[in-house]
Chains A and B, each alone.
Chain A
Amino acid sequence: MRLQIDERRCKGCNLCTLVCPYRIFKPGKRANRRGIVVPELDRPERCANCRLRHLYGRTLCGTCQMICPDQAISWKEDEDPVPKKVAIEY
């Protein structure tokens, strides 16, 4: 699974950029239609905690989703997982 930000809920506070050990979230650059600068996801497939959720059958880490005051962060299934080389970061 990988993360997604719900643009309809995000208010652009950037707290997610602060907590992630993988630095998946980067402050956004452009304001959206509502005038909110939504953070950008930098290769969310890098997060091992997200990838291994199904295997462990529970939420691993998930700090980004918990700290988001606007309930805007959630996980989605990888649609047709293309085999891709992922550099493991420790």
Chain B
Amino acid sequence: MSEEDWLRQDRLPHIFCAGCGNGTVINCTLSAVEQMGWKRQETVFVSGIGCSSRAPGYISTDSLHTTHGRALAFATGIKLANPQLNIVVFTGDGDLAAIGGNHFIHACRRNIDLTVVCLNNMIYGMTGGQGSPTTPMGGLSTTTPYGSGEPAFDLCGLATAAGANYVARWTSYHVRELTRAILTGLENPGFSFVESLVQCPTNYGRRNRFKQVADQIEYFKSHTILVEKAARMREKGEMIPPDMILAGEFVRRNRPALGVRP
């Protein structure tokens, strides 16, 4: 089997805008799932509502496209009802951190055996570009026309504090690293959280000085710094520029997990 077999060919091309990073993260996730050697009949993709949450609709396994913010609640139900199933959740930043914030922290606390791939485009893409809890300070959106004045959520920090077993962050530029991180998440028992920053050229990019799709990809390339390097810099008392994206693995640990196959 190859990655192509995991796609519902008859549904492609998908509805994502030209250059939307969601498609790239689907590729990385399917590549990781393929490397796990999972069977299609034993794999379920779950999502909430949003552009990113349309992803399971293009995958040829059973899937659940649920209500806004509730993907993790449904996924928890599936896992507890049948621990034999492998579950991957696709979710957007609004879906996970705004309306679904409580489900997120409690899924981390329970440390339920799922892998969550968060496609963080720093905006509400589907509804026309409203600010989300991850819109960076100064970021322009339809609800923050003068630049967001609130600090953004650090989703990886949140997942770590709430108790997830595996937490990592990459971007849609870092396809190989992202695939490897998702693979590690799939292998790791307990709650695995992989955040991927993605470009949303239509609603985020064009409002925030990224005229071309490539501009935001170049930004991801030049503005990421490895967690380890950031730690070394902090030790030396050097300043890490505030607009840098911390990337890499934040935690990998073995807290007791729920729903792990006996």
Contacts A8-B13, A11-B19, A71-B12: A66 and B214 contacting too (C-beta < 8 A)?
Answer: no
Q: Which residues of B contact A68 (CB under 8 A)?
A: 23-24, 27
Number of interface residues of B (CB under 8 A): 28
Would you give the shortest CB distance from B56 to chain A, in whole angstroms?
15
**C-alpha gap A67/B24 in the complex (Å):** 5
* B73 located at the interface, meaning its Cβ lies under 8 Å from any Cβ of chain A in the complex: no
Number of interface residues of A (CB under 8 A): 18
Indicate with 1 or 0, residue by residue over A22-33, a CB within 8 angstroms of chain B CB atoms.
Answer: 000000000000
* Of the residues A18, A63, A67, A70, contact of B14 by C-beta under 8 Å: A70
Would you give the shortest CB distance from A27 to chain B, in whole angstroms?
10
* Of the residues B18, B176, B201, contact of A63 by C-beta under 8 Å: B176
**C-alpha gap A37/B255 in the complex (Å):** 51
Contacts A13-B213, A14-B213: A69 and B23 contacting too (C-beta < 8 A)?
Answer: yes
* A12 located at the interface, meaning its Cβ lies under 8 Å from any Cβ of chain B in the complex: yes
Query: A11 contacts B13, CB within 8 Å?
Result: yes
Q: Which residues of A contact B4 (CB under 8 A)?
A: 71, 74
Would you give the shortest CB distance from B9 to chain A, in whole angstroms?
9
